[in-house]
Chains A and B, each alone.
Chain A
Amino acid sequence: MAKIKKILIANRGEIALRIMRTAHQLGIETVAVYSKADKQAPHVRFANEAIAIGPAPSSASYLDMDRIFDAARRSGADAIHPGYGFLSENADFAQSVEDHGLTFIGPSAHSIRVMGNKLAAKEAISNFTIPIVPGSPDAITELADAREVANSIGYPILIKAAAGGGGKGMRVVHQVSDLEEQMSRAIGEAESAFGDGAVFIEKYVTAPRHIEIQILADQHGTVVHLFERECSIQRRHQKVIEEAPSVVTDDVMRGKMGEAAIRVAKACNYVGAGTVEFLVDAERNFYFLEMNTRLQVEHPVTECITGVDLVEQQIRIAQGEKLSFVQEDLSIEGHALELRVYAEDPWNDFAPSVGTLFRYRPPTSEDIRYDDGFEEGMEIPIYYDPLIGKLVVHGSSRTVAVEKMLEAISSFHIDGVSTTLPFGRFVLNHPGFLSGNFNTHFIDQHFSAEKLDDEFELDRKTAALVALKLYLEQQSQLKLPTQPPSNWRKVRQNFTRR
């Protein structure tokens, strides 16, 4: 395989920038693509060249394969990196890239196809001794079948989109009376989000933790794992805070999960960077959930504790290089935390917050890594994911990492949109999180707008007092009366004496 000379990044925002940074470090040129809404975005200016690919809606731009290939042709790119989301787990796209004679920086279309469908994935790993959660082996379309499966597994159950990912297309059902509505909503969401309305049913593991293993596989048969990430702080099944390593694993468990993850990767002939997700129950049993055949949003925490640049490895693997290290070379150093800074309002059930970043000054310090795709003054576009950036810290221990994250949050100046930063502070001060004794229900169990208010009561009252003090100081300096002119005073007294 030949060295890659020019990569077209078929993505936007923070991940496009992040990929380009590594590409440039490796001496590889980059091509950015952008929709009309992203014309002024940083990733467009950072790349060596940029090509417009259509109007704002994703379906007409970042998801439009023809436009992507046209941009590749015009720019002379010899490789495409799909980032995450968009076309990254579209097997047809991966195949098309190869058919066009370009290098796809990711796994083969076959791996994507097999692991992209949760039912097919379960089928593929069935001979590899990998524990899985009890569930329906096939897709379910009839309500009667759903009822039957749900009854045999036992409530609560989870309805999941077979083609799903990123927390979309999942519905928990606690009782049979909710089944019909939840089935129809799940199928609808699956159809519109993934173009495939197939859903299946799984046992809903109560009090589960979501722990995933990062793997790297080269084209020469070597597969290694880069330990785990704990991703249980989620709302609506979307991750908000991740960390590496997990509090709940020990070396033995980590070794077993790592080996299972490697077997999963081998089961689909995986090449590149991938993540194997597991559910961990209260007894620390782990069950295979799914494999994500792409680089994940939360990959930075793994990079922090291992010192490995995963994008660099993706590129090297795509170029046909052998992995330059073996499993024994990898070790965990310290502890890393990531807070996803979403444009969402935690006071309003995390409703998306639109607006302009009229004040935007992220913290800068040695132990802070902040991956974003925005600048002060930019508007948050409504067409895409509301992710502003990823705030990542690395500390010598979990306690130190938590302190650093709290410090980072307090130095993060942002105004114009609501964000998940206050939520991050709430979690990092919460004994449930600090003890490490939490699961995916943490937000439901411990968080509310009222509790968030309590967390910020002192700050808020202090700000009000500061303003009042400034006002009174200025008032006394200017010697202006607050009371109305004297002939009104009698009138006021009449009104106030009730």
Chain B
Amino acid sequence: MDNYKIWINDHTYDLTGADIVSIEYNGEKEIVAVVGNRRLPGSIVEVNYKKKEYVVEILGRFYHIRIQNPYDRLIDDMGYAKRSSKGSEDIKAPMPGLVLEILVSPGQEVSKGDPVIVLEAMKMENMLKSHHDGIVKNVSVSKGLAVEKGQVLIEIE
């Protein structure tokens, strides 16, 4: 049976066509998904067969889904996928804000969970912590600087 990798919000599943759900339609978009003895109301919000992207609403929550079929997987396995970037170790701003305090300096050793920078946003101080053990490579911002969401603040290797 063909195996499909499904990305949904921040999760992934490996599913086959045998993992079944039955869908009852109340019109074109309103549905009740029946899984075992559970009935979950929802709706089909967006369908893009070509891109294999779907948006499904279940009990009010919207799930953004991307399906990877076995062919796509093969392409990935053959090495065309992005190689994992070192950038995942960087501390990035989770939202726009203001740099309040920088707690580390280049060359400093940090451990996972150590606070490294304090951002102010939405009337609160948010202390960001290191994701893992490492050494501070670069501090890309300065105190008092306004930063954007996703902006790299501190590089740790």
A residues neighboring B (CB under 8 Å): 168, 185, 189, 193, 236, 347-348, 351-354, 359, 382, 384-386, 409-415, 421-422, 453, 456, 458-472, 474-475, 478, 482-484, 492, 495-496
Contacts and interface: CB of A to CB of B under 8 A. Distances in A.
Main secondary structure of the interface of B (DSSP, over half): strand
Contacts of B13: 461, 464
Interface in B67-83: 67, 69-71, 74, 77-78
B37 to A, nearest CB: 12
Interface of B: 2, 4, 6, 8-11, 13, 15, 17, 19-21, 23, 31, 33, 35, 38, 40-42, 44-45, 47, 49, 52, 54-63, 65, 67, 69-71, 74, 77-78, 94-97, 121-126, 149
A412 B54 CA distance: 20
Contact of A458 (B40, B56, B71, B125): B40
A5 to B, nearest CB: 34
B2 A464 contact: no
Given A460-B9, A483-B70, A468 B17 contact: yes
B95 A352 contact: yes
A473 to B, nearest CB: 9
Interface of A, secondary structure class, is: helix
Nearest to A361: B60
A427 B38 CA distance: 21
A469 B74 CA distance: 21
A168 B125 CA distance: 10
B56 A412 contact: no
Given A168-B123, A382-B121, A482-B2, A466 B23 contact: yes
B35 A495 contact: no
A351 B77 contact: no
A236 B10 CA distance: 25
B123 A465 contact: no
Nearest to A421: B60
Task: Identify the interface centre among A168, A193, A471: most chain B CB within 10 Å of its CB.
Answer: A471
B2 A411 contact: no
Contact of B69 (A193, A462, A467, A482): A482
Contacts of B6: 464, 467-468
Contacts of B123: 168, 193, 384-385
B60 A411 contact: yes
A351 B47 contact: no
Contact of B59 (A353, A410, A472): A410
Contact of A465 (B15, B45, B94, B95): B15
A498 B124 CA distance: 53
A363 B121 CA distance: 29
Given A193-B123, A385-B122, A469 B21 contact: yes
**Most central of A236, A352, A496 by chain B CB within 10 Å:** A352
A471 B52 contact: yes
B60 A470 contact: no
Contacts of B55: 415
A465 B33 contact: yes
A496 B3 CA distance: 13
Given A464-B8, A464-B63, A413 B21 contact: no
Given A359-B62, A495-B78, A466 B69 contact: no
Nearest to B54: A467
Contacts of A410: 41, 59-60
